[in-house]
Amino acid sequence: MHEPDKLNVHKQSETAYSWLDTVNTMLHYDFCPQLNQWVDWVRNPSWCLAISILTAFICGLLVNTAILYIAAALAMIILVGVLWPWVSVQGLSAELSFNKVRTRCGESVGARLVVKNSWPWPAWGVYLRHPFSEHDDHLCEVAIDCIPGWKTSEYIWDFSPRKRGIYSTSTAFLETAFPFGLYKKKIPLAVDSVLIVWPEISKLAFMPELREVTSSEDRFASHRAGDYGDVIGTRAFRLGDSLRRVHWSQSARQGQMIVTERQAAAVCALRVIPDLQRAHYRHGNDDSLEAVIRITASICHSLLNQHASVECLVGDQLFRCDGNQRDLQKLLDELASIPNGGLEYSVRKHAASPLPEFIVTNSSGFAQRVNQGANRLRSRMIVVQDAPARQSGKEPRCECEPWLHLDSPEESRQKVFTDSWKKACYAG
């Protein structure tokens, strides 16, 4: 086939695929979602069979009694379709477990399902269904074509959670609708297992200029270059360096920009305050809440790895992390368990801290703090723009600017966040 003919065939196939995709999308589009609660029963084929049985029965009485055999056959189909799934699951018992207690969102974890079939006949068409997170209607499904009779079967696969949360297998169940799909029967799992999924964490390689816990010299590392301690040397200017680090006399001698290098701080202290008030995340701003949680986890995790002392105020609980991984685990567990929509407002106040504060909020929470005249001299505001407000053009405006601003919740999991953090740290 000549090259022009191949191109024509390829274009025709692409056109046909696009047309079929358009038709498929149109056929699966829900034009009247408000009527679903009234017509959902039509989707079950049992109603079609029931109407067919009623029609055949009436025709058998009025037209020909032979049609009653059709009604009896259809009734037998319904009977088998209901009894078979019910009987099949009565002999099943299952246990679901994970090879880890904790994992991060997006990381794969090993899942193991053990199913025991007490009946001598196999069970076909069994599904494992699990609404793994209360934060989403995501339903993990594992299909098992056949579970042999009088046997214990084991199934292992990799599961990658897409949402943070406390994943309890107490909500999981086995379900089957074999053979006709007329009736679904389910049974709960025998043993409860829990998987804690932490939020996504971005690695932040830079630390903002913070007040040290103490001024003693052993709080600085002379073998690491940073921005906090004594001057340990000079080097050529690099893009992103603060102008406050420029050594002007050396720059004049060398004919190029020269900056000073200082010791890296071994211990710094700060307090991170995520804005989790439910009132700030209404009207479909759940993505902003997830971004706030991701940013909070990233800051605490990254700064602790840089030997900082971090406090995090989550609701009414204050978590102090001084390089202890167990304290960090408790904090990340608490962030994973935050309910969808945020926390109810609490009037309980913790004692004021002399530590610099990082307040992570969305545009609604930022506007409220500005209107209330919150003290921003000691606080660094990290603001995530609400997507609905941005699209409608009705987001609150003010003359002030936050320390760090993200244009969308999605940027909190992209390189944009790490780059913005780096620039904000250099700017002070």
Question: In this model, does residue 222 exceed pLDDT 70?
Answer: no
On average, the pLDDT of the chain sits at 80
299 vs 396: which has the higher pLDDT: 299
> What's the pLDDT tens digit per position in 382-411?
999 986 544 444 444 555 788 899 999 998
> What's the pLDDT tens digit per position in 58-94?
998 888 888 899 999 999 988 998 899 999 999 999 9
300 C-beta neighbours (distance < 10 Å), count: 26
366 C-beta neighbours (distance < 10 Å), count: 26
pLDDT at residue number 41: 65
256 vs 141: which has the higher pLDDT: 256
Residue 263 pLDDT level (bands cut at 50, 70, 90): low
Question: In this model, does residue 119 exceed pLDDT 90?
Answer: yes
> What's the pLDDT tens digit per position in 234-256?
888 887 777 778 888 888 888 88
Question: In this model, does residue 320 exceed pLDDT 70?
Answer: yes
Note whether 224 and 207 are within 8 A (CB).
no
pLDDT at residue number 365: 86
418 vs 268: which has the higher pLDDT: 418
List the beta bridge partners of residue 123: 147
Instruction: Please state the pTM of the whole predicted model.
Output: 0.72
Among 97-111, 167-181, 351-365, name the one with the lowest average pLDDT.
351-365
9 vs 275: which has the higher pLDDT: 275
Burial class (CB in 10 A: 0-12, 13-18, 19+), 362: buried
Share above pLDDT 90 across residues of the chain, in percent, rounded to a whole number: 29
Question: In this model, does residue 313 exceed pLDDT 60?
Answer: yes
Share above pLDDT 70 across residues of the chain, in percent, rounded to a whole number: 77
Among 91-95, 316-320, 342-346, 408-412, name the one with the lowest average pLDDT.
342-346
In this prediction, residues 10-19 reach a mean pLDDT of 62
pLDDT at residue number 380: 87
CA distance from start to end of the chain: 66
Question: In this model, does residue 5 exceed pLDDT 80?
Answer: no
Alpha-carbon span 318 to 327, nearest angstrom: 11
Alpha carbon distances (Å) from 320 to 77, 201, 225, 252, 360 = 64, 19, 27, 47, 17
Question: In this model, does residue 23 exceed pLDDT 90?
Answer: no
Which value, in Å, is the radius of gyration of the alpha carbons in the chain? 31
Residue in this structure with the two tokens 């997006």, named with its chain if needed: 106
Amino acid at 172: A
pLDDT at residue number 218: 41
Among 7-11, 65-69, 299-303, 319-323, name the one with the lowest average pLDDT.
7-11
Question: In this model, does residue 4 exceed pLDDT 60?
Answer: no
All domains of the chain in start order, with CATH: 91-198 (2.60.40.10), 217-265 (no CATH), 269-427 (no CATH)
- Candidate ranges 134-143, 220-229, 323-332; pick with highest mean pLDDT: 323-332
390 vs 263: which has the higher pLDDT: 263
pLDDT at residue number 399: 54
Among 196-210, 223-237, 313-327, 338-352, name the one with the lowest average pLDDT.
223-237
In this prediction, residues 326-347 reach a mean pLDDT of 86
DSSP state of 246: B
DSSP 167-232: EEGGG-EEEE-TTTSS--EEEE-SS--EEEEEPP-----------BS---GGGEEEEEEEEEEEEE
DSSP state of 268: B
Q: Is the peptide bond before 179 cis (omega within 30 degrees of 0)?
A: yes
Question: In this model, does residue 154 exceed pLDDT 60?
Answer: yes
Alpha-carbon span 348 to 355, nearest angstrom: 19
Residue 216 pLDDT level (bands cut at 50, 70, 90): very low
> What's the pLDDT tens digit per position in 159-213?
888 889 998 888 889 999 988 888 889 999 987 789 999 999 999 888 787 654 4
